[in-house]
């Protein structure tokens, strides 16, 4: 049986799958909101430091 990805202790509750409780589901959601999780992507093209002359 799978364990909760947040607390790693309790088995997952079908109601909150893959989490064991609403609390762990909310902890995961807060981590997304706070930017703790990130999906890697291509680096943004940042122009070189330009002094405006040209």
Write a three-state SS string for the chain.
Answer: CCECCCCCCCECCCCCCCCCCHHHHHHHHHHHHHCCCCCCCCCCCCCCCCCCCC
pLDDT of amino acid 50: 61
Where is pLDDT greater, at 53 or 12? 12
pLDDT of amino acid 8: 92
Length of the chain: 54
pLDDT of amino acid 25: 95
Render pLDDT for 16-52 as a digit per residue (tens, 0 to 9): 999 999 999 999 999 999 988 877 777 776 666 666 5
Nearest to 8 by CA among 17, 20, 23: 20
pLDDT of amino acid 52: 58
Is the pLDDT reported for residue 54 higher than 60?
A: no
Q: What is the pTM of this model?
A: 0.65
């Amino acid at each position: 049986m799978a364990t909760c990805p947040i607390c790693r202790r309790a088995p997952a509750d079908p109601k909150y799958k893959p989490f064991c409780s609403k609390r762990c589901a909310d902890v995961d959601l807060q981590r997304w909101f706070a930017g703790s999780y990130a999906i890697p992507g291509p680096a943004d093209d940042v122009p070189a430091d330009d002094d405006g002359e040209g």
